Amino acid sequence: MKYRDTIEFIRSLYDTNDFIPLHAPVFLGNEKAYLNECIDSTFVSSVGKFVDRFEAMVAEFTGAKYAVATVNGTAALHVALKLVGVDERCEVITQPLTFIATCNAISYCNAKPLFVDVDRETMGLSPESLEAFLKEHTTMRNGSCVNKTTGKKIGAVVPMHTFGHPCRIDLIAEICERYRIPLVEDAAESLGSWYKGRHTGTFGTIAAFSFNGNKTITTGGGGMIVTDDEALARRAKHITTTAKVPHPYEYIHDEIGYNYRLPNLNAALGCAQMEKLEEILANKRQTAETYRKHFSQKPEIAFVGEPENAKSNYWLNAVVLENSDARDAFLKESNDAGVMTRPIWRLMNRLAMFEEAQCAPLENAQWLEERVVNIPSGVRP
């Protein structure tokens, strides 16, 4: 029982002998009241005041000019990519260390992902790896960045703020600008995370957040597109609501749209959760600090703290084990003891669908893949 100390420490944190999940939602505010209001009004579906209110709350909190609510984060990312012009003639540069949704959204646009490395410290897309890849493999053609090997346009760069830790997004934005590539942030995990005083998701052309059940706050299922570009925001709302042209009674749709609008019921939950966001973030920050102190006494386990210049939401706390054997032992011992832990995702380029994808050297991603484990991170009593 090599890790008994740490497992007991987690038990003491959550003050229970029951199973401890990685991240469970908490409903401590107006959730039930708003849901009842919704039901009483009969506006439970894609129209209603909570959808507008939820959008306004997220825009205000993040500092984005516009926010458009969607059925989930994957849908938000899909539409964000589509709106910056990603299609079958494109390739999209992203990180191999991410949740599958990033690559699914790219694939829904009929584009192909390309993988560049991550930073060890942030676990997010490395500006140096991005720049090296662009320098070596692309050329500018008619004002667009084109892959020299495939002749395809680089349609977007999609960095992801892993577990809520901001990547070095300002440098990435600067590179994208230089190469004229739209920057689409996968900020699904980083509501409440800031980089150099600016909220994640506001550095690029457009970004996506997720409100899935396991995220920092939840709407059951839900997502949000944010942007400062009014035209893009309008297009986002249009194509997520079946591209219906406003008319008092006629059904006229001017392109292939999607039924991606967040229902009012889910948005009601979202409004109540947004009201509690600061409290939730403070609770999670305290948990992270407690973990940091605990692991500072354990030379064999390194706690992943917030990167330089960043304020993390600490969505999922992560630790780095010495090697893959140590990781496997830690995973087995903790899960056997009813304390949920999970390894970081398998690298996207190792999944069957993306095996053929062009990759930069991925040393940091591979190093992290072998060692990183998430530990319980939900709001504590």
The CA distance from 109 to 177, in Å, is 22
- Give the nearest distance from C-beta 188 to ligand PLP in angstroms: 3
Measured from the CB atom, is 99 or 133 closer to ligand PLP? 99
Measured from the CB atom, is 6 or 193 closer to ligand PLP? 193
102 near ligand PLP, rule: CB under 6 A = yes
Instruction: Return the residue of 101, 134, 176, 321 that touches ligand PLP, per CB under 6 A.
Output: 101
Q: Give the residue from 91, 168, 167 showing the smallest Cα distance to 360.
A: 91
The CA distance from 81 to 105, in Å, is 8
The CA distance from 187 to 202, in Å, is 9
Measured from the CB atom, is 147 or 205 closer to ligand PLP? 205
Q: Amino acid letter at 226?
A: V
Q: Are strands 153-158 and 90-94 parallel, antiparallel or unpaired?
A: parallel
Q: Find residue 342's DSSP bridge partners.
A: 374
Phi, psi of 48 (to 5 degrees): 155, 160
What is the number of the residue whose Cβ is closest to ligand PLP?
A: 73
Instruction: Return the residue of 119, 185, 186, 306 that touches ligand PLP, per CB under 6 A.
Output: 186
**Residue numbers 262-301 binding ligand PLP by CB under 6 A:** none
**Residue numbers 190-229 binding ligand PLP by CB under 6 A:** 210, 212, 223
160 near ligand PLP, rule: CB under 6 A = yes
- Give the nearest distance from C-beta 148 to ligand PLP in angstroms: 29
Measured from the CB atom, is 98 or 126 closer to ligand PLP? 98
Work out whether the CA dihedral 365, 366, 372, 378 comes out positive or negative: positive
Q: Of the ranges 141-149, 185-193, 245-253, 328-336, which one interacts with ligand PLP (CB under 6 A)?
A: 185-193
96 near ligand PLP, rule: CB under 6 A = no
Measured from the CB atom, is 20 or 188 closer to ligand PLP? 188
Instruction: Give 332's contacts (C-beta < 8 A, 6+ positions apart).
Output: none
Work out whether the CA dihedral 53, 249, 254, 261 comes out positive or negative: positive
257 neighbors 41 (Cβ within 8 angstroms): no
Q: Amino acid letter at 123?
A: M
Measured from the CB atom, is 267 or 337 closer to ligand PLP? 267
Q: Amino acid letter at 173?
A: A
- Give the nearest distance from C-beta 19 to ligand PLP in angstroms: 22
Residue found under tokens 């012009």? 85
72 near ligand PLP, rule: CB under 6 A = yes
148 neighbors 187 (Cβ within 8 angstroms): no
Q: Of the ranges 123-131, 183-191, 316-324, 349-357, which one interacts with ligand PLP (CB under 6 A)?
A: 183-191
- Give the nearest distance from C-beta 101 to ligand PLP in angstroms: 3
Coil, strand or helix at 225: strand
- Give the nearest distance from C-beta 173 to ligand PLP in angstroms: 19
Pure H helices in the chain: 4-14, 31-41, 49-62, 73-83, 100-108, 127-137, 169-179, 230-240, 264-275, 277-296, 324-336, 363-369
Instruction: Return the residue of 31, 119, 189, 369 that touches ligand PLP, per CB under 6 A.
Output: 189
Give the residues lining the site for ligand PLP (CB under 6 A). 72-74, 77, 98-99, 101-102, 160, 186, 188-189, 210, 212, 223
